[in-house]
Amino acid sequence: METFPRADERSRMVEQQIRARGITNPRVLDAMREIPRHLFVPPPHTSSAYIDAPLPIGNGQTISQPYIVALMTDLLEPRPEDRVLEIGAGSGYQAAILARLVRQVTTIERIHTVADLARKNIASLGLKNVSIIVGDGTEGYRESAPYDGIIITAATPQIPPPLIDQLDEGGILVAPVGGRDIQELIALKKHHGKTVQSSHGGVRFVPLIGEYGWTDT
């Protein structure tokens, strides 16, 4: 991949915000160093792209703080042969990180203008293994199921049943589950058709809107 500007800022981000907080998977750390987060943060916030905070990307949406992106990616245990579904493309940053780690990423975004932003950003990096779909992410995307991993990047009141159905045996689903204001980060693994989940701390995400999420009010 082409070397993009602000590499020193990415290195500091990885060392101070991510590795220092316990994430040591070298593939995840390398992806966080390589993908230029500032390309996914629209003005006027581009200069703040490498601070340890979420930032607005327009349409009431945000790009998650770097540590949370790294944590959710790490919990997914991505492998080079995996096929991953992301719910909530946003500006495309999480999908770009995953694209460096797995074989295929399908990401669903309900807002057309946000999906267009993600497409532009993904194309600017020359990533060929990301498909961006406009639709209700809570219903998943059966056309490419089953998935080795599913990541929900918005707050959901429950794990949408269609997503559990579309998760392959042995697959992992990572999601912020709870109320509109505060959620618990959950990692769920499918084993013999049943699910086992673990909790990984409190988080705050914008709400997941859809049939199996929140209503748009």
pLDDT of residue 172: 98
Tell me what pLDDT residue 2 has. Answer: 57
**What is the structure's pLDDT at 193?**
81
Residue 166 pairs in a beta bridge with none
- pLDDT at position 51: 96
Q: Are 95 and 130 in contact, with CB atoms under 8 Å apart?
A: yes
Alpha helix (H) residue ranges in 76-190 = 93-99, 112-124, 161-166
- Give the pLDDT of the chain (217 residues) as one tens digit per residue: 556 889 999 999 999 999 999 999 999 999 999 999 999 999 999 999 999 999 999 999 999 999 999 999 999 999 999 999 999 999 999 999 999 999 999 999 999 999 999 999 999 999 999 999 999 999 999 999 999 999 999 999 999 999 999 999 999 999 999 999 999 999 999 998 889 999 999 999 999 999 999 987 5
Give CA separation, 213 vs 33, 50, 101, 165, 180, in Å: 33, 30, 28, 16, 10
Q: Quick one: pLDDT at residue 4?
A: 82
Angle between helices 66-75 and 26-34 in degrees, nearest 10:
140
**144 noted as active-site residue:** no
Do 168 and 148 meet the contact criterion of CB atoms below 8 Å apart? yes
Closest CA to 72 of 200, 161, 198, 182: 200
Set 11, 64, 124, 131: catalytic member? 64
C-alpha 38/C-alpha 141 separation (Å) is 29
Q: Was domain 7-203 assigned CATH 3.40.50.150?
A: yes
Q: What are the beta bridge partners of residue 86?
A: 107, 151
pLDDT in the model for residue 3: 65
